[in-house]
């Protein structure tokens, strides 16, 4: 297990230091209007998908390997939220398996605190610089600001409802373009009963997936 975790960690660090196009999208500088105010956005890189269960598990297990149990306890997801937040649905299997089972490796990690996410970003920055860039370190990985996220989600489109433009939520084949719980009693009509696997839907013009829904 330790060997497998080190292999996945090495892959993640290499993707970051090279800004692998499959993993990181370049968001060009521009501007966005929010509440009648025009805000400038500097260029940055953004992960093309949500952080996956596999990526977050790799982070947590590496903390344990380094003997950082206290940090591990702060950062680990609260999987009981599957049951606590949705008492009307039978989510015990999700509570027990969603974060740990390999079948959900490439699904977005959920039930994490902001502190945990900030720790993940700090770990990814630190470990990448430790491995590759001792002389010229990369900029810190961080959570985007709200307006950076909105600008990236727009995919360069202006005055559109959705990352793909709009105004429709289905394509020409009648397929849903995002996972968003279309209507009560038919949650899986959009292709996912709970969360959807990363890259289940088409990316926006910047190459970012699931910037609406999920």
Distance CA 152, CA 136 (A): 27
Q: Measuring CA to CA, which residue among 95, 89, 88, 143 is closest to residue 115?
A: 143
pLDDT, position 11 = 97
- Sequence-ordered list of residues with C-beta below 8 angstroms from that of 193, at least 6 positions apart, any chain: 187
> What pLDDT does residue 132 have?
86
CB-based contact 156:206 (threshold 8 Å): yes
**Residue 56: its pLDDT value, please?**
98
Nearest by Cα to 196 from 172, 184, 212, 173: 212
Q: For 31-52, b where at least 16 C-beta lie within 10 A, e where not — what string?
A: ebeeeeeeeebeebebbbbbbb
Q: Report how far residue 135's alpha carbon sits from residue 155's, in angstroms, rounded to the nearest whole number.
A: 34
Q: Provide the residue-wise pLDDT of the chain in tens; the chain has 214 residues.
A: 999 999 999 999 999 999 999 999 999 999 999 889 999 999 999 999 999 999 999 999 999 999 999 999 999 999 999 999 988 889 999 999 999 999 999 999 999 999 999 999 999 999 999 988 776 788 899 999 999 999 999 999 988 889 998 788 888 888 888 988 777 667 777 778 889 999 999 999 999 999 998 8
């Amino acid at each position: 297990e330790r060997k497998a975790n080190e292999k996945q960690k090495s892959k993640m660090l290499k993707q970051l230091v090279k800004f692998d196009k499959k993993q990181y999208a370049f968001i060009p500088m521009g501007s966005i209007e929010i509440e009648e105010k025009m805000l400038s956005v500097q260029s940055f890189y953004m992960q093309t998908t949500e952080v996956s269960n596999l990526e977050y598990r790799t982070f947590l297990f590496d903390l344990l390997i380094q003997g950082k149990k206290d940090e591990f306890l702060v950062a680990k997801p609260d999987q009981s939220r599957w049951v606590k937040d949705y008492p009307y649905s039978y989510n015990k299997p999700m509570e027990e398996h969603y974060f740990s089972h390999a079948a959900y490796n490439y699904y977005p990690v959920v039930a994490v605190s902001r502190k945990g996410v900030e720790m993940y970003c700090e770990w990814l920055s630190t470990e990448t610089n430790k491995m590759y860039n001792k002389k010229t370190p990369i900029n810190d990985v961080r959570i985007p600001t709200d307006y950076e996220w909105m600008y990236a989600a727009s995919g360069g489109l202006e005055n559109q409802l959705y990352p793909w433009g709009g105004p429709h939520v289905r394509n020409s084949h009648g397929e849903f373009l995002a996972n968003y719980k279309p209507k009560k009693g038919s949650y899986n009509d959009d292709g996912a009963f709970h969360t959807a696997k990363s890259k289940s839907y088409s990316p926006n013009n910047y190459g970012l997936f699931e910037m609406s829904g999920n």
